[in-house]
Amino acid sequence: MLFDFFRRKKVVEEKAPEPFVEETIVVDEGAVEFLEPEPEETDFVERLTKGLARTRSKFVSTLRGFEGEILHDEGIDKLEALLVEADLGIRISDRLVSEIRNKFLGRQLIQKELTDFLEQSIKSIICSGDISSSELTKPLHVILVAGVNGAGKTTTIGKLAYQYHKKGHSVIIAAADTFRAAAIEQLEVWGKRVGVDVIKSTIGADAAACVFDAIKAAKARGRDILIVDTAGRLHTKFNLMEELKKIHRIIGREIPGAPHETLLVIDAVTGQNGLSQAKTFREAFPVTDLVLTKLDGTAKGGIVVSIREETGLPVKYIGVGEKIYDLQVFDPDRFAAALFEE
């Protein structure tokens, strides 16, 4: 335990890292392995709709029960409970309920009218604020990926590498989660699977030094995109957050203006705890975009709306399944529709 403390303390020192990469996993970029044919665009819509099935079923079944009914206070309370259970959050739920009360109280309800109102209200929330950029910085675009263990961070990196590689970009991955052997091994598999190089180091080594060496390798090999994995960390652990800040500074020192994207990966199943994570990470360093994973495994899809509203951060990607193409670019219109359409 004492040794671990001093090892972690050493990691956050501002000393310039020495290049030390133990091994580079180099693959043939033309040899993409084990990939299934990608679905058509209509299939992406269907997969999103299917992924949000658990959230949608609660919305639709509850709203269907209001058809032809006169909306009284009891119905208002029922609607509020529905919104809170979907993890829209207290503030958003209160606001929507207030608007529903002003618009529909005492009226005979038509389900479609109430559904359309909620869909448009949610769409307006997730469309407001900052907009995620899709522009790549030349000559090297750096993407830093952070998040707690179990959020789907490493899998997200593999899927991102696949998407960029498929579009013709040359990608390199820095396996800088030096505290977890499984993370490095997982990225090695992804590298071979999608046809990109992986820079890795030994377990327990300086993560910032791995990133430093990956930047050198990316420049030397003329890569377009560098994706940096980082150790999964609890957002409440000070020393680990300090290490992440150091990685951020090393990247900025070697490539002015980088990282160009800092993605925070959040497991949607964690609900409001995910909101707490987003706020804490954002206080520690500049997060540019959010990735919400495992939306297919929760009835709390409203967390996308809550995090968007509370943090102002754009949601860039959402995960709606385990397939390699189930990491989708976030489309607010499509998402809002998928929450309610029967």
Mean pLDDT, residues 97-124: 93
Q: Note the pLDDT of residue 203.
A: 84
Select the more confidently predicted residue: 309 or 215: 215
- Count the residues in the chain: 342
Q: Note the pLDDT of residue 226.
A: 98
Can you name the residues that pair with 290 across neighbouring β-strands?
264, 315
Which phi and psi (to 5°) does residue 197 adopt?
A: -75, 145
Question: pLDDT tens across 158-171, in order?
Answer: 999 999 999 999 99
Lowest mean pLDDT among 2-16, 102-116, 151-165, 310-324: 2-16
Nearest CA to 145 out of 156, 133, 137, 135 is that of: 156
> Percent of the chain, pLDDT > 90?
48
What are the residues whose beta carbons fall under 8 Å from the beta carbon of 175, sequence distance 6 or more?
Answer: 183, 184, 187, 188, 198, 199, 200, 201, 210, 229
Q: Could you give the CA distance from residue 334 to residue 320 in angstroms, rounded to a whole number?
A: 13
> Percent of the chain, pLDDT > 70?
85
Structural domains of the chain, ranges and CATH numbers in brackets: 19-30+41-342 (3.40.50.300)
Q: Could you give the CA distance from residue 154 to residue 242 in angstroms, rounded to a whole number?
A: 20
Half-sphere exposure of 255 (CA within 13 A, CB side): 25
Q: Beta strand pairing status for 197-200 and 225-230?
A: unpaired
Q: Could you give the CA distance from residue 206 to residue 176 in angstroms, rounded to a whole number?
A: 8
Question: pLDDT tens across 254-311, in order?
Answer: 999 999 999 999 998 888 888 888 888 888 788 999 999 998 877 788 889 998 888 8
Q: Is 191 exposed, middle or buried (0-12, 13-18, 19+ CB in 10 A)?
A: buried
Question: pLDDT tens across 290-303, in order?
Answer: 999 998 877 788 88
Q: Could you give the CA distance from residue 230 to residue 151 in angstroms, rounded to a whole number?
A: 12
CB 311 within 8 A of CB 278: yes
User: Per-residue pLDDT for 130 more than 50?
Assistant: yes
Mean pLDDT, residues 5-32: 43
Read off the DSSP letter of residue 321.
S
For residue 131, count other CB atoms closer than 10 A to its CB: 9
3-state SS record for 75-135: HHHHHHHHHHHCCCCHHHHHHHHHHHHHHHCCCECCHHHHHHHHHHHHHHHHHCCCCCCCC
- Chain mean pLDDT for the chain: 84
Angle between helices 153-166 and 181-194 (to 10 degrees): 20
The arrangement of strands across the sheet holding 315-319 comes to: 23-25, 197-200, 171-176, 225-230, 141-146, 261-267, 289-293, 315-319, 327-329
